[in-house]
Amino acid sequence: MNILLRKCHGSGNDFLLIDEISSQYHFTEKDRQNLAIALCNRKSFLGADGILFTMKSVHADAKMRVFNADGSEASMCGNGLRCVGRYVCELLEKDEIVIETMKATLSVNKAESIFNEIPTYCVEISPIVFSLSALPMTLDKDHLINEKVPELSDQLLFSAVAVPNPHLITFVDKEKLYDNTQETIAKYVNGPNPLFPDGVNVSFVKELDKGEIFVRTYERGVGFTNACGTAMSSSSLISCLLSMNEFESSIEVYNNGGKVRCVVHKYEDEYKIDLIGNATYIYEAEIKLDLIKPELFQVIQKSSFDEQKHYEELERYANQRIKKELCV
């Protein structure tokens, strides 16, 4: 069969978007899993952090299903939702839509450009749940906000939140950002372990100036990525809870792939986060494959978009800022 793919990214977190609205592919669950493993393989011609299956929805403008590079399905993907959101907005010629995801139907709207001419979208990150059973995290308490977890470290303070995919967050100094502590912890909690039966996305966060943080994430099902949208949203939320930043104010979130903006909203008994950032198309490709052996896919045609060069300007700006603050 032939499949049309659109390679896209949000903050350098890159995906292959497969449009099942305009084409009828009839994938089984096993096909989706196998496609993610085969096409996201960085040693292949394509390579990506995940696949965004963009589908029809009964009650929303479209539905997004996200598969990590290891074939596991995630309940949510913030950077991916901006890409799917842009794609569906353009398909339906709308500026505001709602997208069904595994656990929630979320709003997406076209936003004012975050930097020069970069296509920018604002997505809703919700529901937000602190109960450890929601992650799930097995610990003898209900919540974990800025506390030690001796099984993980005798120094670091961790917070756990589901948005609704699971995140473990710790604020660190710049020396800890790039030593091997994060990788060691992330590999432990994403292998067979007593704390996180389903694994967890692990972020190390450095406070920069007021209203600015840097987030580095080891993603469940992928490994280190340039950025993780739900992790940057969760880190912004925790930074507000710890009074480093303010609710209802913009937080500039730097990452290894650029930067996004988050605004954390606090209502009476719930939180919601706006995640605002680029949704950039890199290329469109047509591949030919047999679903029995998708790893043997062939590329039939590929045509590039020329918007990546605009994104690279933001990347340069963000890198300079990071270099200055973190001396990397």
Ligand X SMILES: N[C@@H](CCC[C@H](N)C(=O)O)C(=O)O
Q: Which stretch binds ligand X (CB under 6 A): 86-94, 181-189, 219-227, 294-302?
A: 219-227
The answer to whether residue 101 forms part of the interface with ligand X (CB under 6 A) is: no
Tell me, rounded to whole angstroms, the distance of Cα 37 from its chain centroid: 18
Closest contact distance (angstroms) between CB of 230 and ligand X is 3
Q: Which residues pair with 240 in a beta bridge?
A: none
Closest CA to 229 of 277, 298, 272: 277
Active site residue 77: yes
Residue with Cβ nearer ligand X (89 or 275): 275
Candidates 71, 164, 221, 294: give the one binding ligand X (CB under 6 A): 221
**For residues 166 and 196, is the Cβ–Cβ distance under 8 A?**
yes
Candidates 34, 101, 159, 165: give the one binding ligand X (CB under 6 A): 165
Is 146 a known ligand-binding residue?
Answer: no
Tell how strand 258-266 and strand 250-255 pair up: antiparallel
Tell how strand 120-125 and strand 271-278 pair up: antiparallel
The answer to whether residue 201 forms part of the interface with ligand X (CB under 6 A) is: yes
Candidates 71, 78, 257, 294: give the one binding ligand X (CB under 6 A): 78
Residue with Cβ nearer ligand X (64 or 228): 228
The three-class DSSP label of residue 297 is: coil
Closest contact distance (angstroms) between CB of 278 and ligand X is 12
Is 165 a known ligand-binding residue?
Answer: yes
Closest contact distance (angstroms) between CB of 320 and ligand X is 24
The three-class DSSP label of residue 50 is: strand
Residue with Cβ nearer ligand X (16 or 289): 16
E strand segments, the chain = 2-10, 13-19, 50-55, 62-68, 73-74, 96-100, 105-111, 120-125, 147-148, 157-162, 166-171, 201-207, 212-219, 223-225, 250-255, 258-266, 271-278, 280-288, 298-304
The answer to whether residue 12 forms part of the interface with ligand X (CB under 6 A) is: no
Closest contact distance (angstroms) between CB of 77 and ligand X is 4
Point out the annotated binding site for substrate. 13, 68, 78-79, 165, 201, 219-220, 229-230
